[in-house]
Chains A and B, each alone.
Chain A
Amino acid sequence: MMAESIQTDVVIVGAGPVGLFAVFELGLLDVRCHLIDILPKPGGQCAELYPEKPIYDIPGHPNVSGQGLVDNLMKQVEPFRPVFHYGEMVEALEVLGTPEAPSFRVRTDNGQSFECKTVIIAAGGGCFQPKKPPIDGIEAYEGKSVFYAVRKMEDFRDKNVVIVGGGDSALDWTLNLHPLAKRITLVHRRDDFRAAPHSVNAMRELVAEGKMDLKLGQIESLTGADGLLSGATLLGADKSKTELACERLIPFFGLTMKLGPIADWGLNLNENLLPVDTEKFETNVPGIFAIGDINTYPGKLKLILCGFHEGALAAQKIHRYVYPDKKLTSQYTTSSSALQKKLGVN
């Protein structure tokens, strides 16, 4: 079912630190935002790749963890009540307006559409997508026999299912699909698992009872026809080869970043980055801005603090698109009672 189109001033693609701080700068200028992120939570790379790692180069924070920074930013944008759309990928972007008075329609892979005056692309290294194992010809089986996530459990009923990986996703799906599948084989490269100990124990019990198989090694090749798998060859740690019955393969190899659909939006690209000017951080399409790691310009540094600056300047131009008749005056949060009112501190 097609959800009703959401009207807003700005759609921000990516809820990483830079996208989040843009909400703050725009909020001070009375510009309202919706954010869309493919991850199920805010924070982008900070939260996904290094939540516990200290960051040492955020001005005024000698040492803050990735997650700590994200938590603080979420608190900072709270007064502006941004709306978050998690677990969705922006698929299409359509130009509706003119260069002088831009407007856009943005659609996600979930069928949600937005109508907005401007778009900020703050997508960092691109969207997180599952890594594919390096098996020749695996593409031919994707969507039919090879799945990188489980969406419909019924797809696995009465099938020989091979799950690859040693983390929570691999173990959780091993346990969840076990009652339904014909036979589950869990393949992992070593006999140590990152997953929660209770699920590892549950898996080991099933193996001990002969109800499923655990194989140590890596999948080397696949056999099948017309997109339907029949078997997989396991290369053991001792270089031995074993044929596994395999009608469904679910590899869990973590996430990688890909530019994704952004490449198809008619924007100029330079080595998978979006060239912008350094006054407004606008792309070649008026009304579409790019800030943070995804943009490029002479002297560009991929630092979070640079992304914050870029968001602040982009906000000035966005204000002109959203409120063409209003004049902007420079105000400070330390002294302006109007800004303090917006922040809910006065």
Chain B
Amino acid sequence: MVKITYIDSYGESRSVEAEEGTTVMENAIRNSIPEIVAECGGGCACATCHVYVDEAWYPLTGQPSTKEEDMLDFAYKVQPNSRLSCQIKVTPQLDGLVVTTPSRQG
């Protein structure tokens, strides 16, 4: 299992154990993590699972695809470390991953 920590926009932190091969978004929804909406259910077709990846972890999550970059255009307050959490696959290298959720998704 891989540990993921979600920090909400108020600074409250919640950690979950995630299975490899799932996505950071799926684990948020399963564990009722606030501030992740995932309106389209993981299709990279909305921008409501937007997270900021902790700077230290950002390089390990890989590069967003063109499709994801296009979708990020619809997200709010996009930063260089912005990602759509449905596009981050859980791998053993990500054990300890920290992401912060924005105050608004949609």
List chain A positions with a Cβ less than 8 A from chain B. Answer: 45, 49-50, 53, 125, 131, 133-134, 165-167, 188-190, 192, 194, 218, 237, 253-254, 256-257
A50 to B71, CA, bound (A): 12
CA distance A50 to B106 in the complex (A): 18
Which residues does chain A contribute within 8 Å of B39, judged by CB atoms? 125, 256-257
Most chain B CB within 10 A, of A188, A218, A237, A254, is at A254
List chain A residues, Cβ under 8 A from B78. Answer: 189, 218
Chain B residue contacts of A237, Cβ below 8 A: 80
**What does DSSP make chain B's interface, helix, strand, loop or mixed?**
loop
Which of B10-18, B23-31, B42-50, B84-92 has 4 or more CB atoms under 8 Å from chain A?
B42-50
Instruction: Give every chain B residue within 8 A of A188 (Cβ-Cβ).
Output: 73
* Cα(A166)–Cα(B76), bound, Å: 14
B74-106 interface mask toward A, CB cutoff 8 Å, 1 = contact, 0 = none? 101110100000000000000000000001101
Instruction: Assess whether B106 is in contact with A256, with CB atoms less than 8 Å apart.
Output: yes
**Given A131-B74, A192-B69, 6 more pairs with CB closer than 8 A:** A49-B40, A131-B106, A134-B77, A218-B77, A237-B80, A254-B46
A192 to B39, alpha carbons, bound, how many Å? 25
CB pair A50 B73 closer than 8 Å: no
5 cross-chain pairs, A with B, having the tightest CB-CB distances, nearest first: A254-B74, A49-B45, A134-B76, A256-B106, A194-B70
| B-side contacts of A165, CB under 8 Å | 73
Interface of chain A: mostly helix, strand, loop or mixed: loop
A194 touches B76 (CB 8 A): no
Which residue of chain B has its CB nearest to the CB of A258? B106
Contact (Cβ within 8 A) A189 B45: no
Whether the pair B45, A50 counts as a contact (CB closer than 8 A) is yes
A130 CA / B48 CA spacing, docked (Å): 14
Whole-angstrom CA separation of A253 from B70 in the bound complex: 11
How far is the CB of A122 from the nearest CB of chain B, in Å? Answer: 18
Smallest Cβ-Cβ distance to B103: which chain A residue: A134
Contacts of A50 on B, CB cut-off 8 Å?
Answer: 40, 43, 45
Interface residues of B (CB under 8 A from A): 39-40, 43, 45-48, 69-70, 72-74, 76-78, 80, 103-104, 106
28 contacts between A and B (CB under 8 A): A49-B40, A49-B43, A49-B45, A50-B40, A50-B45, A53-B43, A53-B45, A125-B39, A134-B76, A134-B77, A134-B103, A134-B104, A165-B73, A166-B73, A167-B73, A188-B73, A189-B78, A190-B69, A192-B69, A194-B73, A218-B77, A237-B80, A253-B73, A253-B74, A254-B47, A256-B46, A256-B106, A257-B39
Chain A residues near B80: list those with CB within 8 A.
237
Q: Nearest B residue to A133 by beta-carbon distance?
A: B76
- CB contacts (< 8 Å) of B69 on chain A: these are 190, 192
Name the B residues within 8 Å of A167 (CB-CB).
Answer: 73
Of A167, A188, A256, chain B has the most CB atoms within 10 Å of the CB of: A256
CA distance A238 to B45 in the complex (A): 28
- Closest CB of chain A to B66's CB: distance in Å? 8
Q: Looking across the interface, which residue of chain B has its beta carbon closest to that of A170?
A: B73
Task: Give, as a whole number of angstroms, the nearest-CB distance from B45 to chain A.
Answer: 4
Nearest chain-B residue to A190 (Cβ)?
B69
For A165, give the chain B residue with the smallest CB separation. Answer: B73
A contact residues around B103 at 8 Å (CB): 134
For the complex formed, measure the closest distance between the CB of A241 and the CB atoms of chain B, giving whole angstroms: 15
A229 to B12, CA, bound (A): 37
Residues on the B chain within 8 Å of A166, using CB: 73
CA distance A165 to B47 in the complex (A): 14
- Roughly how many angstroms separate A189 CA and B78 CA in the complex, as a whole number? 8
Across the interface, name the chain B residue whose C-beta is closest to A253: B74
Residues of B within 8 A of A256 (CB): 39, 46, 48, 106
